[in-house]
Structure 1
Amino acid sequence: MTATIPLAPGHRKGAPRLTPQVVPGVHRVEHAFTNCYLLADGDAWTLVDAAFPKTWGPLVHAAHEVGLRMRDLQGIVLTHGHFDHVGFAERAIKELGVPVFVHAEDRRLAAHPYRYKREHTPFVYPFLYPRSLGAVGGMLRAGALSVKGVEDVSELPGDGMLDLPGRPEVVFTPGHTFGHCALLLRDRETLLSGDAIVTLDPYKGIPGAQIIAGAATADSAMALRTLDTILATGARTILPGHGEPWRDGVEAAVASARAIGRS
């Protein structure tokens, strides 16, 4: 894997960083323990997820580092409508005029990204899982409490290839939210999984392939059933919404998530 490149001065945990070519044609920007991905196709590119308001500057820096121009961004695909994925989407619409895509079931959530269904209150998790405090602090510094919802969106289909750079295929993966979608890059055997399966749960601070805790998941039983859909992709690499890339194959990732289960 290409070495990561800091996108801001200092070495504070959760500071923004870039991993160029995490798989061919895909660049990863991590900020505050949350990932977004740049899918490049020549000069044109697609962005998957919009992290936090303060991720905008690091994104512009990252695009420059990998030879992409903001004016060539063709669209933003939101895997789901939570605040830590909607981030700067409204700013991108206003400044660049790019379309933002989200599944119909998450359209209202994207407009109101703090009004989401969850199984448990998130406020007890820092006490139960003190390791989560680093992630919580990083998210707050990145603007987690100041995300503007986005209403001017286009709806993703439930499946099929998108006419966007990178040619991602929509994989409907409900559970974390009811309109959650992953994106499959079939020619690279890579799944951009959003929060359907992650390798770091920011609510627990625990690494490993897993579904996210009920503090932010609408229906954990549904999320666990959705692992069958993820397994069927046959992906060799998983690029999650939170945590490091998983390169040990989808079978091992799903087995890990099932073993960890709901929380």
Structure 2
Amino acid sequence: MSDPFMPLFSVRSGAGFQAAEGVHGLTVQIANVYFIENPAAPNEVILVDAGMPQSADMITKEAKRLFGSDYQLKAIILTHGHFDHVGAMEELLKLWDVPVYILHEKERPYVTGKADYPPAKPDAKKGLVAKLSPLFPRHAIQIPNVQTLSPDGSVPFLKEWKWVYTPGHISLFREKDRVLLAGDAVITVEQESLADVVTQKQELHGPPAYFTIDTKTAAASIQKLAELRPEALLTGHGIPMMGKNYREELLTLAKNLASVL
């Protein structure tokens, strides 16, 4: 059974947006999902992440609006398995019989019913969302037809993209225009603050502190992403940032995050 609807919203909920060439975003309450077109087969689409619980209708309506009724969803790729990125998975897989690719073998227990995520850390950072985090679902889910991404970094159906391991997540990177789908490895809103989440105040931040087990590893992941020299940050939470090289901002973020250890 899927998780119940969660009354968490932002001003952008339900808004679709052009994120990059062939990449379309949709804000689902407080999280973003992305549709990536396969340039080798224009009617083929890959969905990145599966949004909040009970959001399947929003996601499928946006797909139909973008691509018409004859598109083919070929796969779902998860940046990670937290509740706000897999919430509609059960309903979507009833509609779309497609493989689901996970980031890494270490993530498999969380999406095959074998292990729950660790408890949230409500005191990791100030903010009402952080205080509410123990109420968020963290139980393992059971996804059929789960497949692990190839260790060579390739992305199924998307030859221009590669995946990058940022422990706890993957990010997807397209070198030709330096587009980075960062999942929650880096986000553009202070996710612990309810006011910032609701208004989608755009700021560069590390992953939500209440779900970050190892801050040192998170900082190292952001530094790793900085070396990709991304020019578009398409994140799991917050309004995307684009139009410049974000290497220096990411390096500063990594340094600041490491300094609080």
TM-score w.r.t. the length of structure 2 is 0.79
Query: What's the RMSD between the two structures over aligned residues?
Result: 3.0
Name the counterpart of 1:31. 28
Distance 1:113 1:183, change over 3 A: farther
In the superposition, relative to structure 1, how do residues 164 and 56 fare at CA in structure 2: closer, same or farther (>3 Å)? same
Matched AA of 1:172: Y
Q: 2:82 is matched with which residue? A: 82
Deviations 1:75-107 (A, max 9, x none): 000011111111122333333111000021111
Within 1, Cα distance between the matches of 2:226 and 2:43? 32
Choose from 172, 180, 202 the match for 1:191. Answer: 180
- Cα distance change of structure 1 residues 213 and 67 upon mapping to structure 2, 3 Å threshold: closer
**SS at structure 2 position matched to 1:201:** coil
Report the count of equivalent residues.
238
Per the alignment, residue 165 of structure 2 pairs with 172
CA distance in structure 2 between the aligned counterparts of 1:92 and 1:204, rounded to whole angstroms = 30
Q: Report the residue type matching 2:127 in the other structure.
A: Y
Contact persistence 2:187–2:238 (CA under 8 A): yes
Q: Partner residue of 2:251?
A: 255
Partner residue of 1:220 out of 210, 215, 218 = 215
Instruction: Tell me by how many angstroms 1:125 deviates.
Output: 6.9
Query: Which residue is 2:204 aligned to?
Result: 209
Cα offset for 1:201? 3.3
2:227 paired residue number: 232
Cα distance in 1 for partners of 2:101, 2:161 equals 13
What is the match of residue 112 of structure 2?
A: 111
1:105 and 1:159 map into 2 onto residues whose CA distance is 16
Out of 187, 194, 200, the residue aligned to residue 189 of structure 2 is: 200
What SS does the aligned partner of 1:199 have? coil
Identity of aligned residues (%): 24
Describe the SS at the equivalent of 1:66: helix
Measure, in 2, the Cα distance between the counterparts of 1:216 and 1:50: 18
Deviation at 1:116, TM superposition (A): 1.7
State whether residues 136 and 202 of structure 1, in contact with CA within 8 Å, keep that contact through their aligned partners in structure 2.
no
1:244 corresponds to which of 239, 249, 255: 239
Q: CA deviation at 1:187?
A: 2.1
Task: Show the counterpart of 1:3.
Answer: none
Query: 1:112–1:210: structure 2 CA closer, same or farther, 3 Å change rule?
Result: farther
Q: What secondary structure, in the 3-state scheme, does the structure 2 residue paired with 1:193 have?
A: strand
Q: Deviation of residue 213 (structure 1)?
A: 3.8
Change in CA separation of 1:146 and 1:227 when aligned onto 2, cut-off 3 Å: closer
Contact (CA 8 Å) 1:81, 1:107: kept in 2 or not? no
Residues 136 and 58 of structure 1, relative CA distance in 2, 3 Å threshold: farther
| Distance in 2 between residues matched to 1:146 and 1:82, nearest whole Å | 7
CA contact (8 A) 1:168 1:185 kept: yes
Structure 1 gap ranges (5+)? 1-10
What SS does the aligned partner of 1:54 have?
A: coil
